[in-house]
Amino acid sequence: MPVVRGRSLRVLFDAPTIAARNVDMAREIAGAGYLDLLVVSILKGSFVFAADLIRALHIAGLAPEVEFLTLSSYGTGTESSGEVRVVRDIESDVRGRDVLLVDDILESGRTLAYSRELMLERGARRVGIAVLLEKPGKRARTVDADHIGFTCPDLFVVGYGMDAAHAFRELPFVGVVES
């Protein structure tokens, strides 16, 4: 069990397993018929996953444009406040384009439902969702991901871009703080 910042972490998904799943997801996405694709990474938690997935998409034969949308519903806590707000918006026009939202985790669904609605309101032709992790049974909003890396137990996870009060984002795996 790795120890980071004096805290024991239990690894749920290790780096090689995540890397292999990213390649498989990229193939799925490449075969899904997206046209004029714009990948929108929802920051901050998805940045590591999005970077790896975008490189895997290139290998799978896609050349998407990439944007970043910063939303917040957590602040520094470990539970969503329930209110989503745009901290930094994308610059690209999505009108008539296919958009793939990339996020770290689908849990309550609030952030992804908000993002999908925002892109559709702006005229996106199609909005898909790719998530590294999905926690079933936690939805506050009805939204489904089109591309899912892993089903995750109902635990607060860190690593691979995900944090606890801005710590642990740098870890190459997804884990649970045990102590």
* pLDDT score at 128: 98
pLDDT band at 85, cuts 50/70/90?
confident
Among 23-27, 91-95, 174-178, the range scoring the smallest mean pLDDT is: 174-178
The whole-number average pLDDT for the span 88-109 is 96
pLDDT at 125 over 80: yes
Residue with token string 């936690």: 138
Residue pLDDT, tens place only, 22-79: 999 999 999 999 999 999 999 999 999 999 999 999 999 999 999 999 988 755 555 5
Token couple for 88: 């930094």
* pLDDT score at 80: 53
pLDDT at 116 over 70: yes
* pLDDT score at 1: 72
- Are 11 and 2 in contact by the 8 Å Cβ rule? The answer is yes
Per DSSP, 36 falls in state S
Token couple for 105: 């985790």
Q: What is the mean pLDDT of the chain?
A: 92
* pLDDT score at 165: 86
CATH for 14-75+85-158, among 3.10.20.600, 3.40.50.720, 3.40.50.2020, 3.30.70.140?
3.40.50.2020
pLDDT band at 104, cuts 50/70/90?
very high
- Rg (the chain; Cα; Å): 16
In the chain, where are the structural domains located? Answer: 14-75+85-158
SS3 142: coil
Question: Residue 76, Cα to own-chain centre: how many angstroms?
Answer: 18
Q: Which residues fall within 8 angstroms of residue 63, CB to CB, at 6 or more apart?
A: none
